[in-house]
Amino acid sequence: MIIPRFLDDDSELARHVAQQLNTPLDWPEDGGLTTGHVAKIASAAACDVSYNQAANGHLIDLFAALPLPGTPDGDKFWGALGNAGGNAALYIDPGNMGGPTFDRLARGNEAGIADRVLSFLSELDDQQREAVTRVIGDALAHDTLLAGGRYLGQLWLRDAETTAWHVLLAKRRLIETQDDRERFLEAWGNA
């Protein structure tokens, strides 16, 4: 999780929720769930869910920037990417990933695409990575006047790699974060 779940009742978010709901922070008095509690719940939910959805959405956007499979440009692009990346390119080949893959990603199957992207990139040798960079960059260059193809390919690969890592890290955080953080804070507090 990006922000701490430890919010006091007078946090900025709690004050915002109280203002939006037109309630005092401790409303209802002697009630089980106060405006401050609602703010804490909103913070935790927004952080966990939004971070995963944003990273997954960004992976979809990265692939959406590439030529579409099943089109003449897409068929040429994906064929060239397969030639450049060899067997590693099979991890992200549309025929191997299948159409429902991105639907599952959009609905929360975070690790599936991220694993494929990182496996693809980790199996490329230096020559293949350079060739893949050029194929992706050339495909992206026709839509922009900002930079040359090779540079755009490098940016796409770095962005895909970092985003996939964020997805996997966020997925891990949902499962292991609380215990890890407590151990971390204790260890560093005792250092």
105-146 per-position pLDDT tens digit:
666 655 678 888 999 999 999 999 999 999 999 999 876 656
Residue 80 has pLDDT above 70, yes or no: yes
Question: Cα(135)–Cα(115) distance, rounded to whole angstroms?
Answer: 22
**Average pLDDT of the residues of the chain:** 77
Question: Residues 153, 159, 162, CA angle at the centre, nearest 5°?
Answer: 140
Residue scoring higher pLDDT (95 or 33):
95
The pTM assigned to this predicted structure is 0.66
Residue scoring higher pLDDT (65 or 106):
65
Instruction: Show the tokens assigned to 53.
Output: 């959805």
Cβ atoms 157, 137 nearer than 8 A: no
